Structure 1
Amino acid sequence: MASKGLQDLKQQVEGAAQDAVTAAGAAVQQVVDQATDAGQKAMDQVVKSTQETVDKTANQASETFSGFGKKLGLLK
C-alpha cells in the first residue's frame, strides 16, 4: 500500500512541476509579447518622427528654392 501512496505522491509532484513550468512559460511569453509591443511602438515613433523631419526639410528646401527663384526673377 505504501507503494501506491508513493506513486500518487510522485504523480502529484510531477503534475505540480508541469503546472509550474507551464505557468513560467506563459509568464515568459507575456514578457516577450510586452517587450515586442513596446519595441514596435518605439519603432513606430521613430518612423513617424523621421517622416515629419523629412517632410519639414523638404518643405524648407522647397521654400528656399522658391525664394531664390523669385529673387532671380525665375519664379513669380
Structure 2
Amino acid sequence: MASKGLQDLKQQVEGTAQEAVTAAGTAAQQVVDQATEAGQKAMDQLAKSTQETIDKTANKATDTYAGFGRKLGLLK
C-alpha cells in the first residue's frame, strides 16, 4: 500500500511540475509577444517620423528651388 501512496505522490509532483513549466512557458511567451508588439510600435513610429522629416525636407527644397527660379526670372 505504501508503494501505491508513493506512486500517487510521484504523479502529483510530476503533474505540479508540468503545470509550473507550462505556466512559465506561457508567461515567457507573453513577455516575448509584448516585446514584439512594443518593438513594432517603435518601428512604426520611427517610420512615420522619418517620412514626416523626408516630406518636410522635400517641401523646403522645393520652396528653395522655386525661390531661386523666381529670383532668376525662370518662374512666376
Instruction: With the length of structure 2 as denominator, give the TM-score of the two structures.
Output: 0.99
Q: Deviations over 1:17-70 (max 9, x none)?
A: 000000000000000000000000000000000000000000000000000000
What letter is aligned with 2:66?
S
3-state SS, counterpart of residue 74 of structure 2: coil
Number of equivalent positions: 76
- 1: CA distance, partners of 2:15 / 2:75: 81
5+ residue gaps, structure 2, are none
One-letter amino acid of the counterpart of residue 17, structure 1: A
CA distance in 2, matches of 1:26, 1:55: 43
Matched, 1:71 2:71: yes
1-side partners of 2:27 and 2:50: how far apart? 34
Is residue 17 from structure 1 mapped to residue 17 from structure 2 by the alignment? yes
Identity of aligned residues (%): 82
RMSD: 0.3
Query: Deviating runs (4+, > 6 A) in structure 1?
Result: none
Superposition pairs of residues 1-76 of structure 1, within 5 angstroms: 1-76=1-76
Q: Please give the TM-score of this superposition, normalised by the length of structure 1.
A: 0.99
Gaps of 5+ in 1: none
